[in-house]
């Protein structure tokens, strides 16, 4: 029974904390069932720390209030290197010459809820929330159900009272799983893992908490630490030996090491299995900590070195409409500039008119803006209660803000479009930028700035004009900051771009719905441009990856006189490509098959796998049905795998897939 308990504890930790299960669900259930059977047969041998008991006691009427033996205070904050230098200086000011510049211990600042847990003679007795720091709520019933929390500490049986403090959190993967299940069951979703953890701990029915993927990370010993332990880093190592989960720590000396730890944590933040909102820095020596003491409600010997705020409030001053390459009209929120996620943000995309309606946002509103890592800033909330008087609902413009052509919102589509096509200067300009981009015709030396400038001066109107720039060499030299050498470089880059490939050329034309994969498929299917230009809608639909809508868009593109003229001009200017080998769809090995991809692949991104499958003639769909030919299942495959197994759809693992694509 003890060895089963040990194994279950290891696998609980791997599943709930590390999000790295080492065994399948059915193997786990088998272990658990074996333990339950033994416990049923030998009830007098049920161990107090058995994970089978971590399922939750009877519901409570209310949480009782408990006074902390030692106040549970919070940490001060610093937000930048200068503040950190000030913190270290304040520490030094209170230390003797010999004690100055102490070693610091640094760890992650986990974004959860602080909880104090007491053990008497090694047995869990009580868990209390921080509350107001003096008095918290008794959440023992819920805390006891946390799978990675040891309920019995073999090595602490001779300690009358041990108080361990730490953070209860919900790992990111568990949070996503919980919200996914809530959506499937039409239940309430949580805004973030912290709210989900808080909501779980505040349940009066402990079986609800037991069903939630919570984890406890210990960060300090506040009563009962053996005298032999003299530093915070050793205290954490001791907690780890007792069976607690602790986050990785680093002992640093001086501001540079502290700063570089902080920066390294920022780098690895996205890869961590849980949310953090900064790092914590503590004087490592516990005797020095006592000497430094507290200043009102904060320790003088520790502070949180927080990350820049990722969600901030600001005013949305205005909403402007931008016109994209294919005429899509997107609303852009003009913000009162604000620091978020470490950068100043003054524009935020509002995506489409539907999003404006969903958010119910107006110019003048106070909004919350979120930006994490490299992710594009987003309006996450509109503070309707703070709406000033006189704001007006946003309406979709009737005319294109650039060319005054009528705006259309095709039925069933989210994006409104300018109907002006290449008559619209905004679309002309975006089409030029797309044409020269790296993945299209790739005119490296002709930067966007110059291209727009040439466009604004009327020297370049269509992509074909790029190849006539050499006739304007004298005029180009007169542009500010464009000397003879730069002009020569630009012209040479344009000359070099004349030799291209058919897929690049098709992609560069900027046909709506034709990305790189479709461009390649078209090239390989038809073999040359005239065949594509004259293909019927039905013929286009036979190309892998081309549906009816895209086929119609391609067909319409090659029926527009203006487009034909531009293509002819480009070819006359010398743009050319080698003939490519035509691959009829029927010759492709996966022709007629429908595949679905799920889970994480170790050798390539899912998009890449999708392109490879499409290249072999398969259609790639987002959902499993009885018509699915095969499911490509990577690591951590979830509900799609279960559904595929249920429907008897063939499941292909990554190794088999790599063999199939000859990689």
- The catalytic residues are 109
CB of 299 to ligand I6G, least distance (A): 5
By C-alpha distance, which of 160, 173, 176 is closest to 224?
Answer: 160
Q: Which stretch binds ligand I6G (CB under 6 A): 69-77, 255-263, 423-431, 440-448?
A: 69-77
- 167 or 654: CB nearest ligand I6G: 167
CB of 363 to ligand I6G, least distance (A): 40
CB of 36 to ligand I6G, least distance (A): 37
Task: Tell whether the torsion through CA atoms of 462, 463, 464 and 468 is positive or negative.
Answer: positive
- Rule CB under 6 A: say whether 114 interacts with ligand I6G: yes
Judge contact between 171 and 178, C-beta under 8 A.
Answer: no
Q: Which stretch binds ligand I6G (CB under 6 A): 106-114, 119-127, 434-442, 498-506?
A: 106-114
Taking the CA of residue 603 as centre, how many other CA atoms within 13 Å lie in the half-sphere pointing to its CB? Answer: 13
Taking residue 51's Cβ as centre, other Cβ atoms within 10 Å add up to 20
Lay out the sheet containing 276-283: strands in order across: 76-78, 302-306, 276-283, 103-110, 249-253
- Rule CB under 6 A: say whether 251 interacts with ligand I6G: no
Judge contact between 465 and 459, C-beta under 8 A.
Answer: yes
CB of 302 to ligand I6G, least distance (A): 5
Site for ligand I6G in 536-555 (CB under 6 A): none
Judge contact between 155 and 198, C-beta under 8 A.
Answer: no
- 220 or 223: CB nearest ligand I6G: 220
Residue in the block written with tokens 């063939």: 650
Site for ligand I6G in 441-500 (CB under 6 A): none
CB of 104 to ligand I6G, least distance (A): 12
- 109 or 434: CB nearest ligand I6G: 109
Q: Measured between alpha carbons, how far is 198 from 132 in angstroms, rounded to an integer?
A: 15
Q: Which stretch binds ligand I6G (CB under 6 A): 68-76, 467-475, 480-488, 501-509?
A: 68-76
- 107 or 545: CB nearest ligand I6G: 107
List the beta bridge partners of residue 105.
251, 282
- Rule CB under 6 A: say whether 323 interacts with ligand I6G: no
- 220 or 368: CB nearest ligand I6G: 220
Q: How far is CA 302 from the centre of its chain?
A: 31
Return the axis-axis angle of helices 516-526 and 606-615, rounded to nearest 10°. 10
- Rule CB under 6 A: say whether 73 interacts with ligand I6G: yes
Task: Tell whether the torsion through CA atoms of 96, 101, 103 and 106 is positive or negative.
Answer: positive
- Of the candidate residues 52, 220, 486, 621, the single one contacting ligand I6G (CB under 6 A): 220
- 299 or 527: CB nearest ligand I6G: 299
- Rule CB under 6 A: say whether 302 interacts with ligand I6G: yes
Classify 72 as helix, strand or coil. Answer: coil
- Of the candidate residues 67, 74, 253, 600, the single one contacting ligand I6G (CB under 6 A): 74
Classify 416 as helix, strand or coil. Answer: strand
Q: Which stretch binds ligand I6G (CB under 6 A): 107-115, 340-348, 530-538, 597-605?
A: 107-115
- Rule CB under 6 A: say whether 613 interacts with ligand I6G: no
Classify 344 as helix, strand or coil. Answer: strand
Which run of H or of E encompasses 38?
helix 25-41
List the beta bridge partners of residue 652.
632
Q: Which residues of 418-439 are buried (b: 16+ CB within 10 A; e: fewer)?
A: bebbbebbbbbbbbbbbbbeee
Q: Angle 174-175-177 (CA atoms, 0-180°, nearest 5)?
A: 65
CB of 168 to ligand I6G, least distance (A): 12
CB of 638 to ligand I6G, least distance (A): 32
Site string for ligand I6G, 37-66 (x = CB under 6 A): ------------------------------
Residue 82, classified by CB atoms within 10 Å of its CB into exposed (0-12), middle (13-18) or buried (19+), is: exposed
Q: How far is CA 276 from the centre of its chain?
A: 14
Judge contact between 403 and 422, C-beta under 8 A.
Answer: no
Q: Measured between alpha carbons, how far is 18 from 175 in angstroms, rounded to an integer?
A: 13
- 21 or 299: CB nearest ligand I6G: 299
CB of 279 to ligand I6G, least distance (A): 9
- Rule CB under 6 A: say whether 219 interacts with ligand I6G: yes
- 302 or 583: CB nearest ligand I6G: 302
CB of 89 to ligand I6G, least distance (A): 20
Which of 429-438's residues contact partners 24+ apart within 8 Å by CB, and which partners?
429/455, 430/323, 430/324, 430/325, 431/325, 431/463, 431/510, 432/460, 432/462, 432/463, 432/466, 433/325, 434/325, 434/508, 434/510, 435/463, 435/466, 435/508, 435/509, 435/510, 436/466, 436/497, 437/508
Site string for ligand I6G, 377-406 (x = CB under 6 A): ------------------------------
- Rule CB under 6 A: say whether 75 interacts with ligand I6G: yes
Phi, psi (deg, nearest 5) at residue 259:
-65, -40
Beta strands in 584-653 (DSSP E): 594-598, 619-621, 630-633, 650-653
CB of 164 to ligand I6G, least distance (A): 12
Query: What is the total count of residues that contact ligand I6G (CB under 6 A)?
Result: 11
Q: Which stretch binds ligand I6G (CB under 6 A): 70-78, 394-402, 509-517, 655-663?
A: 70-78
CB of 203 to ligand I6G, least distance (A): 23
By C-alpha distance, which of 449, 454, 479 is closest to 466?
Answer: 454
- 280 or 476: CB nearest ligand I6G: 280
Q: Which residues lie closer than 8 Å to 388 by C-beta, 6 or more apart?
A: 364
Q: Which stretch binds ligand I6G (CB under 6 A): 73-81, 181-189, 493-501, 594-602?
A: 73-81
- Reported residue count of the chain is 663
- Rule CB under 6 A: say whether 107 interacts with ligand I6G: yes
Classify 236 as helix, strand or coil. Answer: helix
- 265 or 436: CB nearest ligand I6G: 265
CB of 220 to ligand I6G, least distance (A): 6
- Rule CB under 6 A: say whether 585 interacts with ligand I6G: no
Q: Which stretch binds ligand I6G (CB under 6 A): 67-75, 142-150, 371-379, 640-648?
A: 67-75
- Rule CB under 6 A: say whether 514 interacts with ligand I6G: no
Q: Measured between alpha carbons, how far is 519 from 505 in angstroms, rounded to an integer?
A: 8
Judge contact between 298 and 339, C-beta under 8 A.
Answer: no
Site string for ligand I6G, 272-301 (x = CB under 6 A): --------x------------------x--
Residue 1 has which token pair?
A: 């029974």
- 299 or 425: CB nearest ligand I6G: 299
Q: Measured between alpha carbons, how far is 542 from 325 in angstroms, rounded to an integer?
A: 27
- 63 or 301: CB nearest ligand I6G: 301
* Contacts to ligand I6G by CB under 6 A: 73-75, 107, 109, 114, 219-220, 280, 299, 302
């Amino acid at each position: 029974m003890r060895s089963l308990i040990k194994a279950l504890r290891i696998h609980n930790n791997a599943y709930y904390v590390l999000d790295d299960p080492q065994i399948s669900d059915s193997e786990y259930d088998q272990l658990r069932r074996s333990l339950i059977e033994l416990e049923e047969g030998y009830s007098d041998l049920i161990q107090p720390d058995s994970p089978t008991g971590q399922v939750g006691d009877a519901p409570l009427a209310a949480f009782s209030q408990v006074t902390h033996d030692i106040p549970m205070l919070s940490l001060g904050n610093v937000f930048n290197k200068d503040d950190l230098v000030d913190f270290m200086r304040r520490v030094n000011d209170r230390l003797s010459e010999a004690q100055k510049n102490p070693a610091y211990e640094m760890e992650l600042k986990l974004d959860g809820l602080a909880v104090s847990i007491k053990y008497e003679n090694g047995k869990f007795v009580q868990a209390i929330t921080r509350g107001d720091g003096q008095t918290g709520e008794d959440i023992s019933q819920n805390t006891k159900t946390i799978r990675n929390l040891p309920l019995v500490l073999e090595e602490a049986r001779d300690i009358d009272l041990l108080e361990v403090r730490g953070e209860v959190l919900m790992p990111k993967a568990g949070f996503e799983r919980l919200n996914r299940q809530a959506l499937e069951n039409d239940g309430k979703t949580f805004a973030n893992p912290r709210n989900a953890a808080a909501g779980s701990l505040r349940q009066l029915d402990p079986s609800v908490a037991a069903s939630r993927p919570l984890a406890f990370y210990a960060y300090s010993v506040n009563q009962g630490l053996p005298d032999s332990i003299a530093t915070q880093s050793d205290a954490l190592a001791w907690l780890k030996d007792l069976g607690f989960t602790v986050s990785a720590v680093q002992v640093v000396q001086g501001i540079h090491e502290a700063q570089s730890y902080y920066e390294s944590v920022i780098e690895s933040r996205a890869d961590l299995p849980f949310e953090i909102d900064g790092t914590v820095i503590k004087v490592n020596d516990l005797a020095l900590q006592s000497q430094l003491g507290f200043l009102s409600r904060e320790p003088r010997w520790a502070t949180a070195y927080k990350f820049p705020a990722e969600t901030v409030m600001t005013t949305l001053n205005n909403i402007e409409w931008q016109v994209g390459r294919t005429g899509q009209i997107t609303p852009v929120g003009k913000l009162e500039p604000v620091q978020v996620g470490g950068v100043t943000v003054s524009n935020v995309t509002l995506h489409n008119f539907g999003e404006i309606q969903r958010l119910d946002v107006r110019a003048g509103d106070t909004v919350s803006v979120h930006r994490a890592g490299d992710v594009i800033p987003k309006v996450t909330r509109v503070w309707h209660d703070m709406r000033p008087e006189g704001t007006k609902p946003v309406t979709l413009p009737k005319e294109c803000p650039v060319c005054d052509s009528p705006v259309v919102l095709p039925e069933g589509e989210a994006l409104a479009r300018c109907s002006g096509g290449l008559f619209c200067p905004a679309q002309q300009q975006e089409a030029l930028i797309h044409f020269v981009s790296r993945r299209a015709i790739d005119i490296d030396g002709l930067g966007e700035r110059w291209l727009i400038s040439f466009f604004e001066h009327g020297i370049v109107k269509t992509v074909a004009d790029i190849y006539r720039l050499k006739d304007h060499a004298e005029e180009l030299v007169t542009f500010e900051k464009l000397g003879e050498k730069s002009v020569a470089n630009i012209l040479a880059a344009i000359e070099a771009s004349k030799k291209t490939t058919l897929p690049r050329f098709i992609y560069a034309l900027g046909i709506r719905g034709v990305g790189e994969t479709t461009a390649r498929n078209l090239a390989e299917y038809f073999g040359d441009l005239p065949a594509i230009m004259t293909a019927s809608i039905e013929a286009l639909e036979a190309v892998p990856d081309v549906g009816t809508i895209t086929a119609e868009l391609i067909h319409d593109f090659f029926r527009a006189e203006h487009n034909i003229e531009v293509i002819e001009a480009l070819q006359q200017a010398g743009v050319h490509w080698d003939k490519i080998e035509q691959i009829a769809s029927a010759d492709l090995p996966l022709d007629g098959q429908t595949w679905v991809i799920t889970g994480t692949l170790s050798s390539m991104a899912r998009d890449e796998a999708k392109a490879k499958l499409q290249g072999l003639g398969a259609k790639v769909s987002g959902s499993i049905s009885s018509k699915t030919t095969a499911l490509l299942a990577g690591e951590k495959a979830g509900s799609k795998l279960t559904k595929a197994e249920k429907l008897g759809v063939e499941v292909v693992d990554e190794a088999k897939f790599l063999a199939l694509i000859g990689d």
